[in-house]
Amino acid sequence: MTRVSRPRVVLASQSPRRADILRQLGLEPEISPADVDESERAGEGPAAYVERLAREKAEAVAIDPAALYVGGDTTVVLDDEILSKPVHEQDAVAMLLRLAGRSHQVLSGVAVRSGGRTVSEVVRTTVRMRPFDEAVARGYVATGEPMDKAGGYGIQGRGAALVDSIDGDYYAVVGFPVGAFLRLLGRVGWHFDFASLRATDS
Protein backbone atom coordinates (compact mmCIF):
# COMPACT_ATOMS: atom_id res chain seq x y z
CA MET A 1 0.00 0.00 0.00
CA THR A 2 1.36 3.41 -0.94
CA ARG A 3 1.62 5.67 2.06
CA VAL A 4 0.61 9.30 1.82
CA SER A 5 3.29 11.68 3.05
CA ARG A 6 0.96 13.63 5.34
CA PRO A 7 -1.48 11.38 7.15
CA ARG A 8 -4.53 12.52 9.04
CA VAL A 9 -3.66 12.67 12.72
CA VAL A 10 -6.60 11.62 14.88
CA LEU A 11 -6.44 12.08 18.65
CA ALA A 12 -8.66 9.55 20.43
CA SER A 13 -9.03 11.80 23.46
CA GLN A 14 -10.96 14.85 24.56
CA SER A 15 -7.99 16.06 26.63
CA PRO A 16 -7.22 19.65 25.63
CA ARG A 17 -3.72 19.18 26.98
CA ARG A 18 -2.86 16.35 24.58
CA ALA A 19 -4.33 18.29 21.67
CA ASP A 20 -2.35 21.39 22.64
CA ILE A 21 0.93 19.43 22.76
CA LEU A 22 0.32 17.98 19.29
CA ARG A 23 -0.42 21.49 18.01
CA GLN A 24 2.75 22.69 19.72
CA LEU A 25 4.60 20.16 17.56
CA GLY A 26 3.00 21.72 14.49
CA LEU A 27 0.43 18.98 13.96
CA GLU A 28 -3.29 19.70 13.76
CA PRO A 29 -5.13 16.69 15.17
CA GLU A 30 -8.71 15.76 14.50
CA ILE A 31 -10.42 15.14 17.84
CA SER A 32 -12.33 11.85 18.10
CA PRO A 33 -12.76 10.85 21.77
CA ALA A 34 -12.86 7.09 22.31
CA ASP A 35 -15.57 5.50 24.39
CA VAL A 36 -13.78 2.78 26.35
CA ASP A 37 -14.33 1.23 29.77
CA GLU A 38 -11.68 2.75 32.05
CA SER A 39 -12.26 0.34 34.93
CA GLU A 40 -9.19 -1.36 36.33
CA ARG A 41 -8.97 -5.11 35.81
CA ALA A 42 -8.22 -7.56 38.59
CA GLY A 43 -4.49 -8.01 39.04
CA GLU A 44 -3.65 -5.25 36.58
CA GLY A 45 -0.76 -3.02 37.64
CA PRO A 46 -0.74 0.73 37.00
CA ALA A 47 1.67 0.55 34.03
CA ALA A 48 -0.33 -2.20 32.34
CA TYR A 49 -3.51 -0.23 33.04
CA VAL A 50 -2.43 3.02 31.37
CA GLU A 51 -0.85 1.21 28.43
CA ARG A 52 -3.97 -0.88 27.82
CA LEU A 53 -6.22 2.18 27.90
CA ALA A 54 -3.96 4.11 25.53
CA ARG A 55 -4.05 1.22 23.05
CA GLU A 56 -7.79 0.66 23.40
CA LYS A 57 -8.49 4.33 22.77
CA ALA A 58 -6.39 4.45 19.61
CA GLU A 59 -7.90 1.22 18.31
CA ALA A 60 -11.50 2.15 19.17
CA VAL A 61 -11.63 5.04 16.69
CA ALA A 62 -9.37 3.61 13.97
CA ILE A 63 -11.24 3.22 10.68
CA ASP A 64 -8.81 4.56 8.07
CA PRO A 65 -5.63 2.49 7.69
CA ALA A 66 -3.85 5.45 6.11
CA ALA A 67 -4.48 7.72 9.10
CA LEU A 68 -2.44 8.03 12.27
CA TYR A 69 -4.43 7.40 15.45
CA VAL A 70 -3.10 8.51 18.82
CA GLY A 71 -4.32 7.36 22.24
CA GLY A 72 -3.13 8.31 25.69
CA ASP A 73 -3.83 7.78 29.35
CA THR A 74 -2.15 9.14 32.46
CA THR A 75 -2.47 8.24 36.11
CA VAL A 76 -0.90 9.14 39.42
CA VAL A 77 0.38 6.37 41.69
CA LEU A 78 1.07 6.74 45.41
CA ASP A 79 1.99 3.75 47.59
CA ASP A 80 1.12 1.44 44.67
CA GLU A 81 -2.42 2.89 44.56
CA ILE A 82 -3.84 4.58 41.49
CA LEU A 83 -5.20 8.05 42.27
CA SER A 84 -7.88 8.72 39.68
CA LYS A 85 -9.69 11.99 39.01
CA PRO A 86 -11.44 13.23 42.17
CA VAL A 87 -15.22 12.92 42.18
CA HIS A 88 -15.98 15.62 44.74
CA GLU A 89 -14.07 18.63 46.06
CA GLN A 90 -13.49 16.89 49.39
CA ASP A 91 -11.96 13.95 47.50
CA ALA A 92 -9.58 16.38 45.80
CA VAL A 93 -8.57 17.96 49.11
CA ALA A 94 -7.92 14.56 50.70
CA MET A 95 -5.93 13.43 47.65
CA LEU A 96 -3.76 16.53 47.66
CA LEU A 97 -3.03 16.20 51.37
CA ARG A 98 -1.83 12.64 50.78
CA LEU A 99 0.57 13.95 48.14
CA ALA A 100 1.83 16.94 50.14
CA GLY A 101 5.52 16.76 51.02
CA ARG A 102 5.94 13.38 49.31
CA SER A 103 7.10 11.90 46.03
CA HIS A 104 4.73 10.02 43.75
CA GLN A 105 4.83 8.46 40.32
CA VAL A 106 3.06 9.68 37.20
CA LEU A 107 2.57 6.98 34.58
CA SER A 108 1.71 8.17 31.10
CA GLY A 109 0.80 5.68 28.37
CA VAL A 110 0.77 6.62 24.70
CA ALA A 111 -0.25 4.49 21.73
CA VAL A 112 -0.02 5.04 17.99
CA ARG A 113 -1.95 3.06 15.39
CA SER A 114 -1.25 3.19 11.66
CA GLY A 115 -1.59 0.70 8.83
CA GLY A 116 -3.44 -1.74 11.08
CA ARG A 117 -0.62 -1.89 13.64
CA THR A 118 -0.64 -0.52 17.19
CA VAL A 119 2.48 0.24 19.21
CA SER A 120 2.62 1.71 22.69
CA GLU A 121 4.89 2.79 25.52
CA VAL A 122 4.62 3.86 29.16
CA VAL A 123 6.71 6.67 30.61
CA ARG A 124 7.25 6.93 34.37
CA THR A 125 8.08 10.27 36.02
CA THR A 126 8.68 11.00 39.70
CA VAL A 127 7.06 14.15 41.05
CA ARG A 128 7.81 15.58 44.50
CA MET A 129 5.27 17.90 46.06
CA ARG A 130 6.26 20.66 48.46
CA PRO A 131 4.79 20.52 51.96
CA PHE A 132 1.46 22.35 52.24
CA ASP A 133 -1.50 22.36 54.61
CA GLU A 134 -5.24 21.92 54.21
CA ALA A 135 -5.82 25.63 53.66
CA VAL A 136 -3.53 25.56 50.63
CA ALA A 137 -5.19 22.40 49.32
CA ARG A 138 -8.65 23.92 49.68
CA GLY A 139 -7.52 27.14 48.03
CA TYR A 140 -6.27 25.20 45.02
CA VAL A 141 -9.40 23.05 44.83
CA ALA A 142 -11.50 26.21 44.90
CA THR A 143 -9.99 27.17 41.52
CA GLY A 144 -11.74 24.17 39.97
CA GLU A 145 -8.57 23.04 38.23
CA PRO A 146 -8.08 19.69 40.03
CA MET A 147 -11.45 18.14 39.23
CA ASP A 148 -10.67 16.67 35.80
CA LYS A 149 -7.10 15.59 36.52
CA ALA A 150 -5.62 12.35 37.79
CA GLY A 151 -4.14 12.91 41.22
CA GLY A 152 -6.12 16.11 41.62
CA TYR A 153 -3.59 18.56 40.18
CA GLY A 154 -2.33 19.97 36.89
CA ILE A 155 1.39 20.73 36.68
CA GLN A 156 0.83 22.87 33.59
CA GLY A 157 -1.58 25.16 35.46
CA ARG A 158 -1.89 26.59 38.94
CA GLY A 159 -0.94 23.20 40.34
CA ALA A 160 2.66 24.04 39.44
CA ALA A 161 2.71 25.98 42.72
CA LEU A 162 2.36 22.69 44.61
CA VAL A 163 5.27 20.94 42.89
CA ASP A 164 8.78 20.98 44.33
CA SER A 165 10.58 19.02 41.60
CA ILE A 166 10.24 16.36 38.94
CA ASP A 167 12.58 13.60 37.80
CA GLY A 168 11.69 12.61 34.24
CA ASP A 169 9.54 13.87 31.39
CA TYR A 170 7.54 17.03 32.10
CA TYR A 171 5.25 16.37 29.14
CA ALA A 172 4.45 12.93 30.50
CA VAL A 173 3.17 14.59 33.67
CA VAL A 174 1.03 16.92 31.57
CA GLY A 175 -0.36 13.80 29.89
CA PHE A 176 1.45 13.28 26.59
CA PRO A 177 5.09 12.09 26.55
CA VAL A 178 6.53 13.68 23.42
CA GLY A 179 9.72 11.63 23.26
CA ALA A 180 7.81 8.35 23.48
CA PHE A 181 5.35 9.54 20.83
CA LEU A 182 8.18 10.29 18.39
CA ARG A 183 9.78 6.89 19.02
CA LEU A 184 6.47 5.17 18.34
CA LEU A 185 6.03 7.06 15.06
CA GLY A 186 9.21 5.46 13.78
CA ARG A 187 7.96 2.01 14.72
CA VAL A 188 4.90 2.39 12.50
CA GLY A 189 6.80 3.88 9.58
CA TRP A 190 6.50 7.62 10.08
CA HIS A 191 9.09 10.34 10.62
CA PHE A 192 8.37 13.64 12.33
CA ASP A 193 9.82 16.54 10.36
CA PHE A 194 8.75 19.61 12.38
CA ALA A 195 5.11 20.40 11.56
CA SER A 196 4.70 17.50 9.17
CA LEU A 197 5.02 13.72 8.94
CA ARG A 198 6.47 11.64 6.17
CA ALA A 199 6.67 7.94 5.54
CA THR A 200 10.11 6.58 6.38
CA ASP A 201 10.05 4.42 3.26
CA SER A 202 9.18 7.32 0.93
Contact 108, 122 (CB under 8 A): yes
Extended beta strands in the chain, E state: 9-11, 30-31, 68-78, 81-83, 103-114, 117-129, 163-167, 190-192, 197-199
Active site residue 169: no
Q: Give kind and range of the element (H or E) at residue 19.
A: helix 16-24
Catalytic residue among 37, 73, 79, 91: 73
Which amino acid, one-letter code, is at 174? V
Q: Point out the residues that are catalytic.
A: 73
